[in-house]
Homo-oligomer: A and B are copies of this chain.
Amino acid sequence: MGIRILRASAHDIRFPTSLTLDGSDAMNRAPDYSAAYVILETDHPDQLAGHGLTFTIGRGTELCVEAIKLLADHVVGRTLEDIAADMAGFWRSLVADSQLRWLGPEKGVVHLATAALVNAVWDLYAKVEGKPLWKLLADMSPEKLVACIDFRYIDDVLGPAEATEILERKLTGRRQREEEMLRDGFPAYTTSAGWLGYSDEKIRKLAGEAMAQGFTHLKLKVGADPASDLRRARILRQAIGPKRHLMLDANQVWGVDEAISSVRALAEVNPWWIEEPTSPDDVLGHHRIRESIRPIGVATGEHVQNRVIFKQLFQAEAIDFCQIDSCRLGGVNEILAVLLMASKFEVPVCPHAGGVGLCEYVQHLAIFDYIGVSGSLENRTCEYVDHLHEHFVEPVHLRNGRYLAPLAAGYSAEIKPASRVRFAYPAGAAWAEHRMPEGTEVGT
């Protein structure tokens, strides 16, 4: 624990996913899944390093990389012991750097960069402790977990004392839930069948494969033209039968009124939730949508910028499902704040994943939420997308549509060295292959 962080290096890693329309949705038609990636080198005798990332979708990744370099001043030179002794203070030191705070505060590029660094510190912490992150958290006392949280701006709904009580109430049964996770894993749903760029035939085929793999919850991207949305939704419902759960995801393309009418037009396929029906900033809009489309649930979170917006989504009773994002929120510390608020307001947490490394991250968060905070699997399922796992040292393992609890020490989002080299942007070989030969005219 007395090890010192000697250096931070930040890397721009991009995968040319736009070539296959994997990941396409109504808002993001051609993403290149990317990571702003940080490595914290230490003086640990085994050369343990903390690896962390924030997820991006192509252009602009370099902004997060540069922001990581600026924020790294608050990390480099410190010891893990010192950081772990005051986790909330450490987190505050990142978000309260006043000159950089002006560029947020606690949102956008600087907050994405904060997430990468915080995630890297937790990866290091878990590796040093020799535990997977979920286990590191599950073994912490309520007091120690609460000491990780910066309660600024949320203490009007949740303070340290109540947070401690929530965790203490779930001390009973931690051991059994941990055994259950190791044995059965955490329920997952798949988005892999329903990307907007996929043909009807591909949706049918992939839905069949997903059911064969044990998935009972499948998600479809909507928000294209209404006729196409309905046709595709009917295809998926027909493919999966009446018992399985079908979720819809509009990726923010609608206004509030349009969301209400669009979801009603899709009600015949009996959706379990509509995800991101409108702007992630619109707490009151989500509330109105939710009131207007019952019993269809409202889900959001992958673009919810920080705990302050989540606080209001809970206060306003605006969502049925809380979709925390491991890289949009400021890393594990802020995630803990949201898990505890979700528990208080009895909103199930169904983490957002996919992208690069998000599945690797959120499995830890979902499993810890079950063991230590919520104690329930009711209405809980964690997103799974079947892309890019081959680039990770410790990729996720699914069995029967469930995330098996990871066993390796750390936070699981370490990208293989060869992949980091090959997909480095712009110099990596993967990008050189897609580049025009010198002198090629691209036209105006």
List the interface of chain A (C-beta within 8 A of B): 27-32, 56-60, 62-64, 66-67, 70, 77, 97-112, 151-156, 252, 255-257, 278-285, 288, 303, 305-306, 308-309, 311-312, 315-316, 444
Contact = CB atoms under 8 A, between A and B. Distances in A.
Nearest to A255: B155
Contacts of A31: 98-99, 102
Contacts of A303: 105
Contacts of A311: 282
Given A107-B281, A153-B282, A155-B255, A99 B60 contact: yes
Count identical subunits in the complex.
2
A279 B153 contact: yes
B56 A103 contact: yes
A189 to B, nearest CB: 22
Closest 8 A-B residue pairs measured CB to CB? A108-B108, A58-B99, A156-B256, A109-B109, A59-B99, A281-B308, A153-B279, A57-B102
9 contacts: A30-B98, A60-B110, A62-B66, A63-B67, A66-B66, A151-B255, A155-B255, A282-B312, A284-B315
Contacts of A288: 156
Contacts of A56: 99, 102-103
Nearest to A56: B102
A102 B29 CA distance: 12
A155 to B, nearest CB: 5
Contacts of A99: 28, 31-32, 56-60
Contacts of A57: 98-99, 102
Contact of A27 (B63, B98, B112, B315): B98
